[in-house]
Structure 1
């Protein structure tokens, strides 16, 4: 029996509105890089976070894309930058970056082995961990800034 081979990397598997902060930002950065290169990705990161954090995240993203460019098994399929859908490749890449950033090294290495050939697995995982951690750090700073100051300065 033959199986249908209609699964492509662009097949919609999620909605951007349903994704949480880190995964949503990873997908947005991937789409920006894919649609407009480094300039567009840098602009997106600067819109979403403070300049020093954006620069750190951008440098890590550059490392990720360098490894991908040299060792990628097949091109990652991306939706348009403002598309509300999330494709299979985008969701898998976001999950990979999350796993790497959260320290789930074995899972991240396994996922990297699907994305790139053997020479790029470690380098991609390390770059993805730095990229995810920089995005996570920026998100925490934004959340901290939203905490209101107490009405009274008295601490108990």
Structure 2
């Protein structure tokens, strides 16, 4: 007897596990910038960090965020799923990404690496954790010196977007 799984129209990582407004500012920002990055706005983080951190630190954080997102997209254990930019829901994959950035920035390396193993192939875990620490620290520094502003999030639209495949 074989077990047949019924077709699930919702990808595994898209399942809502919370709402963005329940997150602390740094992990919430990480999710929003991930969504922006996937929507074709890879420089938004750098532009937003520029006034608070200066050109060099903002450029470095932007490059590291780009590298982190590329790792998650191209070296994931499965395809990374996300919600629409204006959706107030927090998807399972987005929650992992937010936790990775938050834990790494807090210096919780073992926990951050554990979260990274849920998302990425093993050989990418140390690099992703280091990148997440740098990005999370930059977000934290910027938030403490200048408010990014909060986005108005619309109710869940039902639109879920698989992230694009990007080559490095």
**TM-score calculated relative to the size of structure 2:** 0.72
- Indicate yes or no: 2:43 matched with 1:42: yes
Structure with the higher fraction of residues in helix conformation: 1
The one of 13, 17, 31 aligned to 1:27: 31
The one of 77, 91, 95 aligned to 1:91: 95
Indicate the residue corresponding to 1:149 in structure 2: none
Retained in 2: the 8 A contact 1:12–1:87?
Answer: yes
Q: CA deviation at 1:7?
A: 7.7
Retained in 1: the 8 A contact 2:72–2:80?
Answer: no
Q: Which has the larger radius of gyration?
A: 1
Indicate the residue corresponding to 2:114 in structure 1: 110
Q: CA deviation at 1:33?
A: 1.2
101 and 15 in structure 1: CA distance in 2 versus 1, 3 angstrom threshold: same
Q: CA deviation at 1:136?
A: 0.8
- Corresponding pairs, count: 139
CA distance in 1, matches of 2:62, 2:22: 25
**Cα deviation code 1:96-131 (max 9, x no counterpart):** 111111100111111111111121111111111111
CA distance in 2, matches of 1:65, 1:90: 11
16 and 76 in structure 1: CA distance in 2 versus 1, 3 angstrom threshold: same
Retained in 2: the 8 A contact 1:26–1:94?
Answer: yes
**4+ residue stretches of structure 1 with deviation over 4 A?**
3-7
Indicate the residue corresponding to 1:140 in structure 2: 144
49 and 10 in structure 1: CA distance in 2 versus 1, 3 angstrom threshold: farther
Segments of structure 2 that go 5 or more residues without pairing to the other structure are 148-168
Q: Secondary structure at the match of 2:17?
A: strand
Indicate the residue corresponding to 1:59 in structure 2: 63
Q: Secondary structure at the match of 1:82?
A: coil
Segments of structure 1 that go 5 or more residues without pairing to the other structure are 144-156
